[in-house]
Amino acid sequence: MPEYYEDATFITCHIVSEVLVEMINFNEALKKVLLFANNIMNTETIELMNSLNRILAEPVTAEINIPHFERSPLDGFAMRSEDTKNASKLEPVQLEIIDTIEAGDTSKIELNKNEVARVMTGAQIPSNADCVTRFEEVVELENIIEVFKSFRSGENVVPPGEDVEKGSEVFRDGDVLKPADIGLLAALGNDLIKVYSKPKVAIITTGRELLNISDELEPGKVRNINNVMLHSLVEEYGGIPISWKVVPDTADGIADILREELQRSDLIITSGSVSAGGQDHIPAAFSDIEASILFRRVAVKPGSPLTVAQKDGKLFFALSGNPGACLVNFEQFVAPVLLKAQGRRDYNPVYTKAILTEDLDLGKKQHLLFLAARCFYDQEGRLYVTPHKNQMPGSISPYHDYNCYIVTEANGHKYCKDDVIDIHLLKVTFPLAVSKTPGLTKHPVSVVYSA
């Protein structure tokens, strides 16, 4: 994280329902919520076949060598190197073929002087063979081959443990399992593995203005964007959405649902009813269920009304009802908790610097800004970033093609084109070069990998 965020002291106070509410800075808020991630960290044993993108909950040490026998890496003839020491193009040596060994087969035959065995790729070589020649390097005459060069001991032989040595630590606690990792675990004989459990998350949206996605639009009403968006975000960051409800916009109604979901969820997310309006009932609902509020406002934009509470060691995230602010709240605060609760070592946000492609006027509010943006490399390998034109907290369109946030304090600062600025890469973002070839796309593209 850029250093000045650690030292940020832009703490202000707001009057909300005649209660003095302290606004804490971003770094302090993130530290507070991450302290609770271990409370919902659990483990389970699952089948290897179902382990893609799961996170190991213990180290794995190789109990065998891979491979566990000497084998041939190619189709050819297994030989004794001493029988080839005088071979040359002018005076080839002749060796007798006495056996054929396919992959998966073994042979009890030992090679005597001037004897060879035909071997296929992956086949175990005879115990006293110490080199292998390719078929195309020799001339085969019925049951005899002619060898035209000398071979050293070990040439074209895969020794035991060449891939993995017995006793070596192959995986660490917190490793994320990708397809190659699953293949390696299979080679080690691990059909069952211990992983961190996926946190179970309840999603609750509030607001009398909300319609179902399929409903016809009505005056003053909007479709419920946040419900489905949060469901997708929870899945993207490794959690399991176990419910997604729209509840009455009353303190009692919200409190009843919170009590119910607390019994079966590891973490609860609400959207809406957290700002300073008279119909914002989340803080009152937290009070009804005797949840302890950790903070009620954070000095960030968008999403400053973020409220977080805890009960029985479980967190309640009350996010903004504005879709853009809701998304920012989730990716800056909820996502790191979900990742840490799953044992991820890389749960903290990843920051770097990029060059602005245009001027940027930040305004005068004392907040840490998270601006939807898109970063890309040019042909010379320089990282650039372009902020979206629309940064309104109620908008969702700026986020459909973003791959990072510009992160900076406001304080009336104005950046100019080509200035360097901090950006937060979303999970792991690999911006690709912008093509300068006519006919190809001129838009920056990126690959964003799931957690």
pLDDT tens per residue across span 161-205 = 999 999 999 999 999 999 999 999 999 999 999 999 999 999 998
Within a domain: 253: yes
Residue 362 confidence (pLDDT): 84
Residue 385 confidence (pLDDT): 96
Dist CA 254 CA 106 (whole Å) = 69
Task: Identify the band that residue 251 occupies on the pLDDT scale cut at 50, 70 and 90.
Answer: confident
- Paired sense of beta strands 60-61 and 420-425, if any: unpaired
Whether 26 and 329 have beta carbons less than 8 Å apart is answered as no
Q: Is 228 found in the same domain as 177?
A: no
Residues of the domain holding 171? 44-66+167-196
Q: Is 185 found in the same domain as 218?
A: no
Q: Is 205 found in the same domain as 172?
A: no
Which two three-digit tokens encode residue 333? 């605060």
Residue 123 confidence (pLDDT): 97
Q: Is 260 found in the same domain as 238?
A: yes
CATH number for 177: 3.90.105.10
Task: Identify the band that residue 443 occupies on the pLDDT scale cut at 50, 70 and 90.
Answer: very low
Q: Is 55 found in the same domain as 21?
A: no
Within a domain: 187: yes
Half-sphere exposure of 402 (CA within 13 A, CB side): 26
Dist CA 334 CA 252 (whole Å) = 25
Average pLDDT estimate for 114-140: 96
**Greatest C-alpha distance within the chain:** 102
Q: Is 22 found in the same domain as 88?
A: no
Above 70 in pLDDT, residue 431?
no
- Paired sense of beta strands 43-47 and 192-196, if any: antiparallel
Q: Is 205 found in the same domain as 329?
A: yes
Residue 276 confidence (pLDDT): 52
- Paired sense of beta strands 428-431 and 404-409, if any: unpaired
For the ranges 89-103, 243-257, 365-379, the lowest mean pLDDT is seen at 243-257
DSSP string, 326-375: HHHHIIIIIHHHHHHHTT-S--S-EEEEEEESS-EE--S--SEEEEEEEE
Residue 121 confidence (pLDDT): 97
For residue 444, say if its preceding peptide bond is cis, omega within 30 degrees of 0.
Answer: no
- 431 vs 129, which has greater pLDDT? 129
Within a domain: 305: yes
Report angle CA 285, 289, 290 to the nearest 5 degrees. Answer: 110
33: helix, strand or coil? helix
Average pLDDT estimate for 404-412: 87
Whether 77 and 114 have beta carbons less than 8 Å apart is answered as no
Q: Is 210 found in the same domain as 183?
A: no
Residue 208 confidence (pLDDT): 73
CATH number for 440: 2.40.340.10
Task: Identify the band that residue 439 occupies on the pLDDT scale cut at 50, 70 and 90.
Answer: very low
Q: What is the pLDDT of residues 297-310, one digit of tens each?
A: 999 999 999 999 99
How many domains does the chain fold into? Answer: 4
b/e sequence 245-277, b meaning 16+ C-beta within 10 Å: ebbebbbeebbbbbeebbeebbbbbbbbbbbee
258: helix, strand or coil? helix
Q: Is 188 found in the same domain as 264?
A: no
Q: Is 445 found in the same domain as 389?
A: yes
Structural element, H or E, at residue 420: strand 420-425
Strand partners, 95: 145
CATH number for 112: 2.170.190.11
Closest CA to 356 of 437, 419, 438, 294: 419
Which two three-digit tokens encode residue 380? 């010379």
Q: Is 188 found in the same domain as 56?
A: yes
Task: Identify the band that residue 11 occupies on the pLDDT scale cut at 50, 70 and 90.
Answer: very low
- Kindly report the average pLDDT of the chain as a whole number: 87
CATH number for 15: 3.40.980.10
Q: Is 228 found in the same domain as 314?
A: yes
Q: What is the pLDDT of residues 12-21, one digit of tens each?
A: 333 333 344 6
Report angle CA 336, 341, 342 to the nearest 5 degrees. Answer: 100
Within a domain: 325: yes
